[in-house]
Amino acid sequence: MKVRHLLAAGAASLALVSHANAAETPIPAAPSSDAEATADPQTTSVGTGASDSGAIVVTARRRSETAQSVPLAISVVGGEHIDSTGSFNVGRLQQLTPTLQFYSSNPRNTAVNIRGLGVPFGLTNDGIEQGVGIYIDDVYNARVASATFDFLDVKQIEVLRGPQGTLYGKNTTAGAINITTNQPTFDFEGKAEVSVGNYNFVQAKAAVSGPLTDTLAARFAVSSTNRRGTIYNVKTNQDIQSQDNLGLRGQLLFKPSDIFTITLAGDYSEQDATCCGSVYVRTGLTQRALNRQYAALAAAQNYAAPSTNPFDRVTDLDSPLQAGNKIGGASIKVKWDVGPGTLTSVTAWRFWDWKPQNDRDFTGLPIVSKSQNPSQQDQYTQELRYNYSGDRLDFVLGAFGFYQRIDTQGTEQHGSASTKWNLAPSNALYNSNVLNGLTARNSQYLKNTSVAVYGQASFKLTPELTLQPGLRVNYDKKDGFYQRRVFDIAGNEILLSSPSTPTKTAQLGIFTPQEIAPKFSDWNFSYDFTASYKAAEGILLYATYAKTFKSGGINQNGVPTDTANNPILASATVKPESVRHYEAGIKTEFRDLNAILNVAIFRTDIKDYQANVNNGQFGVLRGYLANAGAVRSQGVEADFSVRPNERFNTYINAAYTDATYRKFVDAPCPPELSGGTVATGAQVPGAAGTPGGLSPANCDISGQRLPGVSEWSVSWGFEANAPVDLFKQDGLVYLGYDGSYRSSFSSNPSPSAYTQVAGYSLSNFRLGFRTDSGFDIYGFVRNAFDQDYFEQLFVGPGNTGLIAGLPGDPRTFGLTVRTAF
């Protein structure tokens, strides 16, 4: 904490000193910045910012071009708007980009999806690929945990929707998030920012850049965020769900000539929050016997949740909580103008170190007394590509290599309340405490190798008509290992080969020893084709078809067992997803009105969709992967922005997404249809929520919506300003507003009435004063109307009917001082 406070104080001092020394110059009618550009009809940037002029330039297709000229659905958010709206990580960015979904119960269990597609909703499994690629300065980040860190010195973020495998190093079937940071400059410049707010919120950012020699420039940036937690744990007298983030980035640019550059970059980020927990939300009847459901189990141990109102934000989790998260790495980018094109090489190494502790029973009882699965990752990537731009032909050719190793060491242990929670009163061991101290130790590793060649060309058949084919050839190989060993409280190992006893049977009902070494390898060929037509000045039509894939995977968290407790090895691997994507859109510019309107319609059909499956048991198998028959995501998106004059601009972005399982006949059942004796033969399963009823072995959820996807999501906002003379400086006083809405969504892989998250709307305001010299001071309020909402709901283990949840942030407010020099 002391380091964070020193950074905050240093940045504040830098801000005040630089403002005091800044020249007082009149502010122009339309201040200039490349951060936001809704003022110019050539732009498609999200939101409204301080400076709205000039076309947004994007590198989505590995070359610089205006966003409105790119024949794909893309949202662009400038660094200044990211800062001014408090959207300092992907979780907050989703409020500005309606088709982006972000879910995180902790940094490891994080999902980033676009149009409902990307990764299965639920506990993270290291054995599959991310469907949404995250790139920072051309470096692929394999761990989605990187999405939980604060953005650091960002110039702009491009959110690309739809498959991007013929343009990017790692294959991405749902889209890509392309983050560009500010680069070293040969002119001295800097910026600093400090924010303070309620919940002891303190955030400080600073960056400085300039020449070291005539051919060498450097840039250094730092960011620190601290905030106390929003949930109070009465058991430990702690505020949980806190923020404690530190980020550092340094870059060196060597430019001996105009045609050759080398950029060396290194970054390090860490999180050390008191995180991550949950609160009691509700209970719902399952098909378990009534005396084995939550109400009876809690009463048997004289337990009651500290509050039955989740928005009291009170919990009593008794296991230690920790979310130690470190991520970083280094890269070398070489760019060389060779003849008519540019050759680029990007070599990178990244690491990830995860040290968690969790409470997996979601209660204040010592049922699961320890749950921790620390992991370490090393990732190496090499990308080589050549870009050519001509009068009639543009193309990109690339090769990509990727190697990743993840090692995980897990410990799960049951406590003194486990026996009475998990064994029926009729069991002779009910009062024996036989499950106390039962421990599973898990060891696993993953070796993941991928190589690919890819390319995309743009043929300008006429000044109006362009054809754009692309292709990719990809090889993936995954080697995994998973071992679970089980020990009793005395440290004696429990083996499947040991003589069967009632004690052993009870203990194996919680943890089953297992060892598997799954492997997967496959070649894949994918392609896409886009045609675009400039119908008139300011009107671009385009249509895309893509046939692509997501690599097959392996189950790294164990697999189901048969009646003899042997692993079902057929479940150790999952087949690749086969993806067919169709999209059409129109991009329009209304120059007389300084407005744009873009509309896209899309449909994505996926065969062998990789779904997350949970069996509802403690520690037996928390989750594994399986192939659903088919999934479809289709919908329409619209983006509109207008700036009628220099004093006002506004935007609205909306998306309708219909993402459903088209065929999933053997899916896991929702909690209301789980927990009873499994129906066999001609037996008829009982009605949902009938205690003691028969449960189906699996459920047909064909036609139901994918988890985490709202049918409707909208973001909108405006900024108005007026010239004033304040603090003895000419400037602008401004009022900004950003709102968002999303309709209800399922928070369970199989839709359940118990885990449906109600729709909600959030409103964020800012009021401030800025000058052309770079000084900016504003107050902000987020979730201004203190909307109660859930980010996620969780089904408690064991089919007891317990539903826990993670409430979204309450109203927060504060003050920001920013300067640039």
DSSP 188-243: -EEEEEEEEETTTEEEEEEEEEEESSSSEEEEEEEEEEEE--SEEETTTTEEES-E
**Which range, of 101-105, 555-559, 611-615, 618-622, averages the lowest pLDDT?**
618-622
Boundaries of domain holding 675: 2-820
Tens of pLDDT, residues 493-514: 999 988 889 999 999 989 999 9
Domain count, the chain: 1
Query: CA dihedral in degrees (796, 799, 802, 803; nearest 10)?
Result: 60
Task: Give the pLDDT score at 443.
Answer: 95
- Please state the rounded mean pLDDT for residues 420-430: 94
Q: Answer whether residue 4 shows pLDDT above 50.
A: no
Residue 682 has pLDDT above 60, yes or no: yes
What mean pLDDT do residues 612-617 have?
60
Mean pLDDT to the nearest integer, 263-285:
95
pLDDT of residue 118: 87
pLDDT at 55: 64
How many Cβ atoms are within 10 Å of 442's Cβ, its own excluded? 20
- Residue range 91-113, pLDDT digits in tens: 778 888 888 888 888 888 888 89
Q: CA 166, 168, 169, 174 torsion: positive or negative?
A: negative
- Tell me: pLDDT of 41 over 50: no
CB 588 within 8 A of CB 539: yes
727: region left, alpha or beta (phi > 0 left; psi from -120 to 50 alpha): left
Q: Taking CA 32 as the corner, what is the angle to CA 29 and CA 38, rounded to the nearest 5 degrees?
A: 90
In tens, the pLDDT along 468-487 reads 999 999 999 999 999 999 99
State residue 299 phi and psi, 5-degree precision.
-65, -35
- CA 628 to the chain's CA centroid: 22
How confident is the model over 103-125, as a mean pLDDT? Answer: 81
List, for residues 223-260, the tens digit of each pLDDT value.
999 999 999 999 999 999 999 999 999 999 999 999 99
pLDDT at residue 721 above 50? Answer: yes
**Mean pLDDT value of segment 626-655:** 94
Residue pLDDT, tens place only, 290-320: 999 999 999 999 999 999 999 999 999 999 9
346 is written with which tokens?
Answer: 């990007």
State the Cα torsion 120-122-124-127 to the nearest 10°: -40
Residue 615 in this model has a pLDDT that exceeds 90: no
Which residues is 271 bridged to in the sheet? Answer: 245, 325
Residue 65 confidence (pLDDT): 78
Asked whether the CA dihedral 692, 693, 695, 700 is positive or negative, the reply is: negative
- Of the listed ranges 336-350, 553-567, 612-626, 767-781, the one predicted with least confidence: 612-626
Residue pLDDT, tens place only, 170-228: 888 899 999 999 999 999 999 999 999 999 999 999 999 999 999 999 999 999 999 99
CATH number reported for the structural domain that contains residue 737 in this entry: 2.40.170.20
719-729: burial string, b at 16+ Cβ within 10 Å, e else: bebeeeeeeeb
Mean pLDDT for 61-90 is 81
Question: For the residues 392-405, what does the mean pLDDT come to?
Answer: 95
Nearest to 132 by CA among 177, 95, 71: 177
- Rg over alpha carbons for the chain, rounded to the nearest Å, is 27
pLDDT number for residue 791: 93
* Residue 8 pLDDT grade (very low, low, confident, very high; cuts 50, 70, 90): very low
Nearby residues of 579 by Cβ (< 8 Å), 6 or more positions away? 163, 173, 546, 547, 548, 549, 550, 604, 605, 606, 607
Q: What is the pLDDT of the chain when averaged over all its residues?
A: 88
Residue 623: which pLDDT band, with cuts at 50, 70 and 90? low
Strand-strand pairing, 393-414 and 439-460: antiparallel
CA distances 546 to 97, 165, 531, 583, Å, are 23, 10, 12, 9
CA dist 704 and 659 (Å) reads: 8
Which of the two residues, 765 and 11, has the higher pLDDT score?
A: 765
pLDDT at res. 46: 55
Cβ-in-10-Å burial (0-12, 13-18, 19+) of 245 comes to buried
Q: What's the burial of 295, exposed, middle or buried (CB within 10 Å: 0-12/13-18/19+)?
A: middle
pLDDT of residue 467: 97
Mean pLDDT of 554-565: 82
- Provide the CB-side half-sphere exposure for 399 (13 A, CA): 3
- Of 280, 510, 293, the C-alpha closest to 415 is 510
* Secondary structure (DSSP) of 589-646: EETTTTEEEEEEEEEEEEEEEEEEE----SSS-S-EEEEEEEEEEEEEEEEEEEEEET
Distances (CA, A) of 374 to 290, 324, 467, 698: 37, 9, 48, 32
Average pLDDT estimate for 435-453 = 96
What pLDDT, on the 0 to 100 scale, is given for residue 170? Answer: 87
337 vs 94, higher pLDDT: 337
Kindly give the pairing relationship between strand 132-136 and strand 175-181.
parallel
Query: pTM of the prediction?
Result: 0.90
Q: Residue 300's Cα: distance from chain center in Å?
A: 40
% of the chain at pLDDT higher than 90: 69
- What's the average model confidence in pLDDT over 714-725? 96
Q: Is the pLDDT of residue 2 over 60?
A: no
pLDDT digits (tens, 9 = 90+) for 763-773: 999 999 999 98
